[in-house]
């Protein structure tokens, strides 16, 4: 089939219109812009009422979120940081989940102005991994580094269609590597891919994916049209309703995001909150994760330097704080696009997931790439720490790294996890399983320095479990000893 023919068959218009309100989508550009016209300092009492609402794990309205956007009072912003951290602890405890991105190919039919992989970028070295090459990548990721979770990334192209994605997922799950004391294996694969049809999403559901991610990039329709001039991605609504189709197909966990720097960051924040509200309204399930990447340099991509909407570090910090309060139940992903310094600071604002040992060149893990090569990757990353280094730095801050994937295998997904998150009950499971999986990783992969620091964290966590959950503490100790004796993948 010709690529042009493949492109022409991608969009199913009935799988857009069925979700709209008489053809109108849920992003009201005019209403959002009007909310943003008010730039006055909000009343402190109103701000504190919004803080209380967020602390009760209620999704904020667009109007409430706009109030937080207007907030400039330094004392209230400091209080907002405290609220953000309290929300994170209440919902997810003090754990950070780690993962690695694995780019499967860089062929793409779209020509997004900001992307190094755009179809007309002639300097990119194009490649799609074979199943054997995927296996070699995974052996490094799970057998040498110790990752248990991946986010796999695909371009929109017939060479990486749903059949390729399904086969690649089966390949990833099949790899099992003997390591120091146990074995390495990827237990959860999240997918970042182009919007799909419902019948295709059902195929991925049956394979057993984790979260399905599609980022809208920008929620502003005029900007969206400008930066996506051709290809399937030029259709705003097809992308906007990706998560609706995924949830209808039975994929319980969905992830949304915006690429900050394409348009006014304040508009994008309200777009993300609008998206969360819409999913809750239609399906009773909000986004499992929210991502907020900033534009980064990419090979032969001048748009990145020319954008009028570059997000400063201070505004980026505010974005994270606002989203933590506005969608308090959601996981928040902070990627290695950002520098070590930024990540070390904003992890305190309620972040739940971070990547490490990150390589985004096609085939970069098995090639043992030590330097970034922009002709092979989508953009330039900012934090090049290894997983061991990140875990050690997090432990010094009092965070335990969790490699738990139990919730997905126990059915704590979709609507069932929403209630657990809002009530703080999911954090209990998170704490127990974080201890077990962290000890497992320390035994199998950690350097001596990281293991020593990590064991101090575990000692503190076990003491807290003994005090808070005395009835289950003996079972935790039983599992913990089994892990130390070589058993793996034990969970509650």
Collect all residues with Cβ–Cβ distance below 8 Å to 54 and sequence separation of at least 6: 60, 83, 87, 324, 325, 326, 328
Bridge partners of residue 308, in order along the sequence: none
Whether the pLDDT of residue 162 is over 80: the answer is yes
pLDDT at residue 410 in the model: 53
Whether the pLDDT of residue 328 is over 70: the answer is yes
Residues of the chain with CATH 3.20.20.70: 3-24+95-385+392-407
pLDDT tier for residue 401 given thresholds of 50, 70 and 90:
very high
* Cα–Cα distance, 249 to 191 (Å, whole number): 15
Whether the pLDDT of residue 55 is over 90: the answer is yes
* Cα–Cα distance, 442 to 403 (Å, whole number): 11
Closest by Cα among 47, 27, 489 to 269: 27
* CB contact at 8 A, 401 and 392: no
pLDDT tier for residue 430 given thresholds of 50, 70 and 90:
confident
pLDDT tier for residue 491 given thresholds of 50, 70 and 90:
confident
The average pLDDT across 331-349 equals 97
SS3 of residue 102 by DSSP = strand
* Helix locations, 143-264, DSSP H: 162-174, 198-207, 221-227, 236-240, 242-248
* CB contact at 8 A, 333 and 353: yes
* Cα–Cα distance, 43 to 40 (Å, whole number): 9
Provide the phi-psi class of 125: left if phi over 0, else alpha when psi is between -120 and 50, else beta.
beta
pLDDT tier for residue 418 given thresholds of 50, 70 and 90:
low
pLDDT tens for residues 113-127? Answer: 999 999 999 999 999
pLDDT tens for residues 181-227? Answer: 889 999 999 999 999 999 999 999 999 899 999 999 999 999 999 99
* Cα–Cα distance, 153 to 103 (Å, whole number): 5
Spell out a b/e string for 218-230, using b for 16 or more CB atoms within 10 Å of the CB, else e. Answer: bbbeebbeebbee
* Cα–Cα distance, 418 to 329 (Å, whole number): 7
* Helix locations, 284-386, DSSP H: 303-306, 313-326, 340-346
Whether the pLDDT of residue 421 is over 80: the answer is no
The torsion defined by the Cα of 363, 366, 368 and 370, in degrees rounded to 10, comes to: 30
Whether the pLDDT of residue 414 is over 80: the answer is no
Identify the residue with better confidence: 275 or 421. 275
Of 300-304, 350-354, 385-389, 392-396, which gets the smallest average pLDDT?
A: 300-304
Whether the pLDDT of residue 420 is over 70: the answer is no
pLDDT at residue 492 in the model: 76
Other Cβ atoms closer than 10 A to 44: 13
pLDDT at residue 185 in the model: 95
The percentage of the chain sitting over the pLDDT mark of 70, rounded to a whole number, equals 95
pLDDT at residue 49 in the model: 98
* Cα–Cα distance, 125 to 142 (Å, whole number): 26
Whether the pLDDT of residue 474 is over 90: the answer is yes
* Cα–Cα distance, 85 to 352 (Å, whole number): 11
Provide the phi-psi class of 335: left if phi over 0, else alpha when psi is between -120 and 50, else beta.
beta
pLDDT tens for residues 17-31? Answer: 999 999 999 999 999
* CB contact at 8 A, 134 and 168: yes
pLDDT at residue 371 in the model: 81
What's this model's pTM, rounded to 2 decimal places? 0.94
* Cα–Cα distance, 456 to 473 (Å, whole number): 18
Whether the pLDDT of residue 363 is over 90: the answer is yes
pLDDT tier for residue 72 given thresholds of 50, 70 and 90:
very high
pLDDT tens for residues 265-297? Answer: 999 999 999 999 999 999 999 999 999 999 998
The average pLDDT across 96-122 equals 95
Whether the pLDDT of residue 105 is over 80: the answer is yes
Whether the pLDDT of residue 107 is over 60: the answer is yes
* CB contact at 8 A, 292 and 323: yes
pLDDT at residue 415 in the model: 62
Whether the pLDDT of residue 467 is over 70: the answer is yes
Whether the pLDDT of residue 407 is over 60: the answer is no
Q: What is the mean pLDDT of the chain?
A: 93
pLDDT at residue 337 in the model: 95
pLDDT at residue 425 in the model: 59
Closest by Cα among 433, 387, 435, 439 to 408: 433
Pairing of strands 331-334, 353-355: parallel
pLDDT at residue 128 in the model: 96
CATH number for the region 3-24+95-385+392-407 comes to: 3.20.20.70
* Cα–Cα distance, 11 to 196 (Å, whole number): 8
The average pLDDT across 146-163 equals 96
How far does Cα 89 stand from its chain's mean position? 18
pLDDT at residue 370 in the model: 81
Whether the pLDDT of residue 413 is over 90: the answer is no
The average pLDDT across 467-476 equals 92
């Amino acid at each position: 089939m010709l690529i042009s023919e493949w492109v022409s068959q991608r969009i199913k218009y009935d799988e857009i219109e069925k979700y709209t309100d008489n053809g109108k989508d849920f992003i009201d550009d005019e209403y959002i812009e009007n909310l943003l016209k008010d730039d006055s300092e909000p009343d402190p009492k109103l701000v504190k009422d919004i803080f209380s609402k967020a602390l009760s794990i209620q999704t904020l309205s667009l109007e409430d979120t706009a109030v937080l956007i207007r907030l400039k009072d330094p004392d209230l912003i400091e209080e907002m940081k405290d609220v953000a951290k309290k929300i994170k602890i209440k919902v997810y405890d003090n754990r950070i989940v780690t993962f690695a991105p694995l780019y499967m190919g860089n062929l793409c039919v779209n020509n997004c102005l900001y992307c190094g992989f755009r179809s007309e970028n002639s300097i990119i070295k194009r490649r799609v991994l074979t199943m054997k090459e995927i296996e070699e990548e995974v052996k490094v990721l799970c057998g040498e580094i110790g990752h248990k979770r991946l986010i796999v990334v695909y371009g929109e192209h017939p060479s990486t269609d749903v059949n390729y994605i399904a086969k690649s997922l089966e390949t990833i799950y099949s790899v099992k590597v003997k390591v120091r004391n146990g074995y390495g294996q990827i237990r959860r694969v999240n997918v970042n891919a182009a919007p799909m049809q419902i019948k295709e999403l059902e195929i991925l559901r049956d394979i057993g994916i984790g979260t399905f991610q599609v980022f809208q990039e920008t929620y502003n329709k005029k900007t969206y049209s400008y930066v996506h001039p051709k290809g399937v991605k030029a259709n705003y609504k097809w992308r906007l309703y990706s998560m609706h189709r995924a949830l209808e197909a039975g994929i319980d966990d969905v992830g949304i995001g915006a690429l900050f720097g394409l348009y006014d960051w304040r508009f994008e924040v309200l777009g993300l909150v609008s998206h969360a509200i819409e999913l809750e309204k239609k399906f009773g399930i909000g986004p499992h994760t929210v991502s907020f990447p900033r534009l980064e340099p990419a090979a032969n991509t001048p748009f990145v330097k020319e954008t009028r909407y570059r997000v400063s570090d201070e505004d980026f910090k505010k974005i994270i704080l606002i989203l933590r309060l506005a969608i308090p139940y959601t996981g928040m992903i902070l990627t290695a696009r950002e520098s070590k310094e930024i990540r070390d600071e904003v992890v305190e604002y309620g972040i739940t997931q971070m990547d490490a040992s990150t390589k985004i060149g096609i085939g970069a893990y098995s090639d043992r790439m030590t330097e970034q090569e922009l002709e092979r990757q989508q953009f330039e990353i900012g934090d090049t720490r290894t997983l061991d280094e990140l875990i050690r730095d997090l432990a010094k801050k009092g965070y335990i790294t969790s490699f738990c994937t139990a919730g997905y295998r126990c059915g704590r997904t979709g609507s069932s996890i929403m209630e657990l998150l809002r009530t703080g009950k999911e954090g209990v499971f998170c704490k127990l399983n974080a201890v077990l999986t962290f000890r497992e990783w320390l035994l199998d992969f950690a350097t001596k320095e990281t293991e020593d620091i990590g064991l101090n964290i575990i000692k503190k966590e076990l003491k807290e479990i003994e005090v808070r959950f005395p009835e289950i503490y003996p079972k935790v100790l039983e599992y913990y000893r089994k892990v130390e004796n070589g058993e793996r993948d034990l969970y509650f």
